A and B are shown apart, each in its own frame.
Chain A
């Protein structure tokens, strides 16, 4: 049984650019959530996907968007990057909308300069 894998592990982008982060869910999981973790803070919920549909969204602007594919892998896209977008982005997968608890990936460290 594989865990949650995220790519890339590190990324540096320039303000105003666009970025795509990828996540491969744990086998058998149909729910994926994305979190942003700024330095010294706890993870903050961005959005959740369940069976390829967005199933909830946190307090993030529309330039944060996502996709979930039929194999339950997922992407997080961020347009018009701002300096404050610099953070660790965590993907977490689960079965049944998270009732069994989430399995987290190691994250992608995004730096916006």
Chain B
């Protein structure tokens, strides 16, 4: 069965500091990995997916199959990055399995 682990419920960083939100997954085969973000009072939205290898809002994430990780990183945190972040995995018909989420708080 697919499983996604986000070990931190809450992560607080100062503005301008680097950010790393951890995500580990278990999946047999070739999974698709995603990061979704939910800003305050907004709906869940796709931030990035590993196959596109994009950088969105300064965030990047590299799939490490050896460590089964897909950590989300940003070199300099901004106040507007404060949100709930969910890592998710899916394959085939993209029936997503989500982690429990990490709340990122950027301190001004």
Contact = CB atoms under 8 A, between A and B. Distances in A.
Give the interface size class of chain B. Answer: 20 to 34
Given A43-B44, A106-B43, A94 B100 contact: no
A8 to B, nearest CB: 16
A101 B43 contact: no
Contact of A45 (B86, B96, B101): B96
B95 A42 contact: no
Give the interface size class of chain A. Answer: 20 to 34
Contact of B95 (A4, A48, A101): A48
Given A44-B98, A45-B95, A56-B92, 9 more contacts: A43-B96, A50-B93, A92-B44, A97-B93, A98-B90, A98-B93, A98-B96, A101-B34, A104-B36
Interface of B: 4, 34, 36, 43-46, 49, 86, 88, 90, 92-101
